[in-house]
Amino acid sequence: MKRHVFVWIVDALSNVYLYFQQRVDAIGRRDLSSLQKCTDAIQMLAYGVATNAVVDYVRIGESTTIECLEKFVEGVISVFEDKYLRKSNPNNVRRLLQMTECRGFPSVLGSIDCMHWQ
């Protein structure tokens, strides 16, 4: 992911959700930064790694890692849903299939359709 896209997502989430804003607790310690929380969630999504693999890299506890992922997914859906998470139209589907076929991933759209799961 390009840096400016990552920073844009982090800023959008931290502007809307208190969870992604860095706070200070009662004894003056800083909470995790929005960058740490988003990095944690994106690593899990991008690489498909388990929570314990991310815990070592970002130095966040396992329960916090799971919470970051849940909040990140909820936040991205609510912040970007109207503009970027819309239903595909025939032109978009055709364009995506052509792109993925050129890259060696024919029928990639079928893999994201979970209707076959019971």
Query: What pLDDT score does 110 carry?
Result: 55
Task: Convert the pLDDT of each residue in 42-70 to its tens digit.
Answer: 888 887 777 777 666 667 788 888 898 99
Task: Give the Å distances, CA to CA, from 73 to 56, 65, 89, 94, 107.
Answer: 21, 12, 24, 27, 25
Nearest to 44 by CA among 30, 29, 31, 55: 55
Q: How confident is the model at residue 117 (pLDDT cuts 50, 70, 90)?
A: very low
Read off the tokens for 94: 């055709």
Measured on CA atoms in the order 57, 61, 24, 32, is the torsion positive or negative? positive
Alpha helices in the chain (DSSP H): 3-16, 34-47, 51-58, 62-84, 90-102, 108-112
